[in-house]
Structure 1
Amino acid sequence: MQGLIIIIKPSSSKLSSSLVVVVAAMMLLLGLAGVAHGGGRRRLVVSSNEDEPCRRMTVYYHDILYSGNNTANATSAAVTRPAAALSTSRWANGTYFGLLVVFDDLVTEEQALASEPVARAQGFYFYDRKEALNAWMAFSLVFDSAAYRGTLNLMGADLMAEETRDLSIVGGTGDFFMSRGVATLSTKAIEGAFYFRLKMDIKLYECYV
């Protein structure tokens, strides 16, 4: 505790011993409180090999875009209308350029939408290329389960023409405190313009354990 000065002027050796015991007990309780809040109990592990992350998991991200008649099931919604000169009705040029989508998407352990949920993906993506389908994403994976609690924060270009593409993991909280790494995305399903499923292979190279 910074700024705390304890001055003891005992009148007897017995009083001195009692005060020492009290002070020691106080410092022990303060130390335990720090541990209870994560202070001093974690150590940083940094992977030195790209093939050996300090933590790895695979999850599936499901995006159900609001279509106008799927209010109960939709988990994302477009919040911008692209300029007509660049993207006409139904975005005939196929790039969705200028479309911004905000989402609160389900993340599951297995591919099926009805499988065990492990997190929510909360954030946004927007289509940012006129010549081809391409997006940029920024979101948090919010975990609240028996296995994990906390968040992972991801951001970067989703190069949709590529079979696999990487997003940067730039930090985290809770069980993922200050984690850094890479999430490799691959598209596993597309159903029209209103549903897609991504496989996310998460590899952390800086972990506090």
Structure 2
Amino acid sequence: MATWSKTSLIVAAIFLLSSAGVAHGRSRRFVTSYDEPCKKMRLYFHDIIYDYSNSTSNSTSAAVTKPTALSTAVSKNGYFFGRMVVFNDPMTEGKALPPSLEETAVRAQGLYFYDKKDGPNAWLAFSIVFNSTAHQGTLNLMGADPNIETRDISIVGGTGDFFMSRGVATLRTDAFEGFKYFRLQMDIKLYECYV
């Protein structure tokens, strides 16, 4: 097994850090600010869950676990404790659903599961995938989504235009129609990013 000298490691680190500032053919610099975000954006997350009564072409998420004996015994209002949902949801700059649910330039892809026995408390892990002329890459988010008016989840990293970005996304439920559809307003603030 090859061993690296201290000098080799330093040279490799400098090379990686210097090459990280170039993405999509342009030079960028890394900005860290804990007072003022280096980038802000507002997106709307649209989740349409398949529940056997709606069409599969109109659904963007599906439960991948069945209710267990524990979850049906202790859960109220259909928020089955331990239920996991996988999604590939469209995201928009405005509140309206896009004309094509499958062909949007920004998507949220990941999962959430209910982690409270008596309410819609969830835990999220997903990526926002950007594929447009404005942005290319991903933002990766994870964290608790408690049943309160506004809540924050962590932005733990990114790729492409959002390489190594970190920050916070403030979520607010903007619309809710039973167990079939919800829309979240997501205010994204990046405090570490390349500009």
Q: Tell me whether 1:156 sits opposite 2:143 in the alignment.
A: yes
2-structure distance, mates of 1:35, 1:157: 32
> In structure 2, what is the equivalent of residue 67 of structure 1?
51
Could you tell me which runs of 5 or more consecutive residues in structure 2 were left unpaired when the two chains were aligned. 1-18
Q: Equivalences for 1:1-209 in 2 at 5 Å? A: 41-49=27-35, 52-68=36-52, 69-87=54-72, 92-114=76-98, 117-160=104-147, 162-209=148-195
- CA–CA distance in 2 between the matches of 1:170 and 1:180? 5
- Decide whether aligned partners of structure 1 residues 82 and 35 sit closer, same or farther in structure 2, where only a CA change above 3 A counts: closer
Deviates more, 1:115-124 or 1:57-66: 115-124
Q: Give the C-alpha shift of residue 39 in structure 1.
A: 9.1
Give the Å deviation of 1:42: 2.7
Structure 1: gaps spanning 5 or more residues: 1-32
Between the aligned residues of both structures, percent identity stands at 61
Residues 35, 98 of structure 1: CA spacing in aligned structure 2 closer, same or farther, 3 A cutoff? closer
- State the AA in 2 paired with 1:63: D
Q: Structure 2 vs 1, CA of residues 132 and 92 (structure 1 numbering), >3 Å: closer, same or farther?
A: closer
Deviation at 1:118, TM superposition (A): 4.2
Counterpart of 1:57 in structure 2: which amino acid?
M
Contact 1:164-1:184 at 8 Å conserved across structures = yes
CA contact (8 A) 1:118 1:145 kept: yes
Distance (whole Å) between structure 2 residues aligned to residue 199 and residue 114 of structure 1: 15
Instruction: Return the offset for 1:85.
Output: 3.3
CA–CA distance in structure 2, aligned partners of residues 154 and 186 of structure 1: 15
Runs of 4+ in 1 over 6 A off after TM superposition: 33-36
Distance 1:41 1:82, change over 3 A: same
Please state how far the C-alpha of 1:95 moved relative to its aligned partner.
3.1
State the SS of the aligned residue for 2:183.
Answer: strand
Deviations 1:103-155 (A, max 9, x none): 00000010011379441100000001113320000000000011111000000
TM-score, normalization: structure 1?
0.75
The number of equivalent residue pairs is 172
Distance 1:180 1:36, change over 3 A: closer
Distance 2:37 2:23 in 1: 26
1:94 Cα deviation (Å)?
A: 4.3
1 or 2 for the larger relative contact order (CA 8 Å, sep ≥6)? 2
C-alpha separation in 1, matches of 2:179 and 2:139? 27
- When normalised by structure 2's length, the TM-score is 0.80
Offset at 1:83?
1.1
